[in-house]
Amino acid sequence: MRPQGHFCRSWAAVNHEERGVAVVGTHHVFLLRHGQVAGPAALYGKTDIALSAAGHNELNSQLARVLPLTRVVSSPLKRCLDFAKSVSEREAIPLHVEAGFRECNFGRWDGVPFDDIPTDCWGDLEKFWHAPSVYHFDNAEPLQVMQARVVAAWGALLQMLQNESQPQRVLLVTHGGVIRLVLASVLGVNWANPALFSQWQIGYGSVSLLTLLRGGDTRPIINYVALPADVASKAR
């Protein structure tokens, strides 16, 4: 069985040293899902809805855990970007807006409150929830297209980190679907498994941490996943 937690990171570093690879620091990437939005329950993908007051509080409560930072990366949608801009300005660090980390476009049902969807159309949603990689709504982005752009954006971020001369602490403010696809890519698991989206809770304002050893090994280590905003201070 592979070592876990802090020992896993130490073991990886020792493995680097045995191969003659210099280990000169660790990059930290915090995956932060946006907070609650100012709207009724719906599939919010391309719909550019803002955060609610509670959503802002959720994100602000995670700052003590992720600071200090060296840069911020964000989805272009305001429920992510507004907070990312505030962190960038407050900490005087660079902000990069990456369209590859935006949420899926849910087509005809994007942003439509569930209560407003006609009863005879609910079968459309059921098909999507049971097989999101196979079925998509009219005018929607297929999940495989989203997966390809997310993995490409994530790969570009990892490459940028490997090119840095100093350890980086990056905050990526994005969406639940994006975070699931990033973690599936890191673990090498089947991104098309419906359970990834229906049974893996990535809550509003939750934060996940991945670390990446500098010096050659490009395999990120998952330290924790979806730590809720209300327990961030307890787990520090």
Task: Give the per-residue pLDDT at 83.
Answer: 98
- Those residues whose C-beta lies under 8 Å from the C-beta of residue 233, and which sit 6 or more positions away, are 61, 64, 65
What is d(CA 169, CA 66) in angstroms, rounded to the nearest whole number? 8
Per-residue pLDDT, 110: 98
Phi, psi of 234 (to 5 degrees): -70, -30
- Give the C-alpha separation, 170 to 72, whole Å: 6
Q: What was the pLDDT predicted at 216?
A: 63
- pLDDT for 4 equals 41
pTM of the model: 0.88
Report the candidate in 191, 225, 211 with the shortest Cα–Cα distance to residue 8: 211
Q: Is there a contact between 103 and 81 (Cβ–Cβ < 8 Å)? A: no
pLDDT above 70: percentage of residues in the chain = 86
Residue numbers in the chain where pLDDT is lower than 70: 1-24, 215-217, 231-236
3-state DSSP assignment of residue 155? helix
The token duo for 33 is: 């899902």
Place of tokens 């049974």: 199
Q: Report how far residue 117's alpha carbon sits from residue 104's, in angstroms, rounded to the nearest whole number.
A: 19
Residue the block writes with tokens 């330290």: 223
Check: CB of residue 45 under 8 Å from CB of residue 105.
yes
What is the C-alpha R_g of the chain? 18
For residue 71, give both structure tokens: 């840069």
pLDDT value of residue 24: 55
For the stretch 179-187, contacts whose Cβ atoms lie closer than 8 Å and that sit 24 or more positions apart, written own/partner, are: 179/31, 179/33, 179/208, 179/226, 181/146, 181/147, 181/150, 181/151, 182/31, 182/150, 182/151, 182/154, 183/31, 183/208, 183/222, 183/225, 185/150, 185/151, 185/154, 186/210, 186/219, 186/220, 186/222, 187/222
